[in-house]
Amino acid sequence: MITSSGKTAGKVCWEEMLPWEFKEQQRQCPIVYLPMGLCEPHGQISAFGLDTLKAKYICTAAAERTGGIVAPAMGYHVHESGYHAQWLEEVVGEENPHMTAIPPHILYSFFLYQLRAFINAGFRGIIVVTGHAGGNEHDLRLVADSMSQMSSVPIHVVSDPELVQEHYTGDHAGAYEISQLLYIRPDLVDFEYAPLAEQPGSGGMMAMGADAMQASAELGQKIMESCVQALSCAAARMLKEIKSASESTVPAHLTYDQTEKVWRQLQAENVPWIAAKPYPGQPPIAPQSRWKPYEFLKESRRF
Ligand SMILES: [Zn+2]
């Protein structure tokens, strides 16, 4: 990228930018991307950070194509609670899944403050890509919509399977996800370790999908290209929207109090958070399971 001052800038990652590079890139496209994921098991054959890594890849490629800046990736996410709990009982049982999980009431409140940070840093549009999906993306949208209403800043929250739902079906550590990682980080997938699932003390299946061994870098390339294409289009639409909107409606700075007000409103509305309880029809968790305490969030941990 050649800047108006004739200097060359090619960076899109906030963490790597010098102030002049940030200002220039933001002036051209005032959109920030937040990649979200976490460390959770994806079988014995692949790395814990798959969700974060793919979200970061999609955001970075879209920013390189359409413009904007990629915020530091969020490597902690909602897990364990509500619908996650029974899934964990089923796929990891009593094994330690070695996760970077945060309770929803903490994560969603933190997420609100991340959005505040982006608005205060001068962005006029926010795109959130979560690589960890299955319900929490709907909760994130509730938080984002409230912030968007208060600030007049458009906020788009999407999971990678939603980006490509017309062409592919997302999964957990199956052919879809393992292919994604095989394409973007082939060094982090090794099928040779699949037999560890049978070895006592190794953690068992570690939530590997049934068709994981059919994954390929070729399929991963197609999925990721499709994700990047869809996100780039979403960013281009948002940029158009920002350019036609009235700048005066966006507050120059959001305080802690203004942000807390948004959070309190969400609490008062008694929002039906998806990550707070099991899906309708999900079987109950066995009383002796280590995941039982997380099936229904206690009142004190409600929002
Ligand atoms: Zn995943």
Q: Could you read off the pLDDT of 82-129 as tens digits, one per residue?
A: 999 999 999 999 999 999 999 999 999 999 999 999 999 999 999 999
Please list, in sequence order, all residues whose beta carbon lies within 8 angstroms of the beta carbon of residue 301, skipping any fewer than 6 positions away.
103, 105
Residue 192 counted as domain residue:
no
Residue 290 Cα to ligand 1 middle (Å): 22
Task: Please give the residue range of the domain that contains residue 124.
Answer: 14-172+224-301
The number of folded domains in the chain is 1
pLDDT of 251 above 90: no
Q: What rounded mean pLDDT belongs to the chain?
A: 93
Residue 24 falls within a domain, yes or no?
yes
Please tell me the predicted confidence (pLDDT) of residue 10: 86
Residue 276 within a domain = yes
Look at residue 302 in the predicted model and tell me its pLDDT: 60
**In-domain check, residue 141:** yes
Q: Residue 44 C-alpha to ligand 1 middle, in angstroms? A: 13
pLDDT at position 253, please? 94
Ligand 1 centre distance from Cα of residue 135 (Å): 13
Number of Cβ within 10 Å of residue 237's Cβ equals 14
pTM equals 0.94
* Ligand 1 center–CA 131 separation, angstroms: 6
Instruction: Tell me what percent of the residues of the chain surpass a pLDDT of 90.
Output: 89
Q: What is the pLDDT of residues 189-212, one digit of tens each?
A: 999 999 999 999 999 999 999 999
CA of 45 to the centre of ligand 1 (A): 13
Residue 271 lies in a domain: yes
pLDDT at 9 exceeding the cut of 60: no
- Residue 106 inside a domain? The answer is yes
Q: How far is the CA of 223 from the centre of ligand 1 (A)?
A: 14
250: CATH: 3.40.50
CA of 132 from ligand 1 middle (Å) equals 6
Residue 205 lies in a domain: no
Arithmetic mean of pLDDT, 279-292? 95
Please report whether residue 296 resides in a domain: yes
Residue 267 pLDDT grade (very low, low, confident, very high; cuts 50, 70, 90): confident
Distance from Cα 55 to the centre of ligand 1, integer Å: 10
Measured in angstroms, how far is the CA atom of residue 243 from the centroid of ligand 1?
Answer: 35
| Residue that wins the pLDDT comparison between 188 and 270 | 188
CA of 36 to the centre of ligand 1 (A): 11
Centroid of ligand 1 to alpha carbon of 172 (angstroms): 5
What b/e sequence results for 191-225 when a residue is b if at least 16 CB atoms lie within 10 Å of its CB, and e otherwise?
eeeeebeeeeeebbbbbbbeebeebebebbebbbe
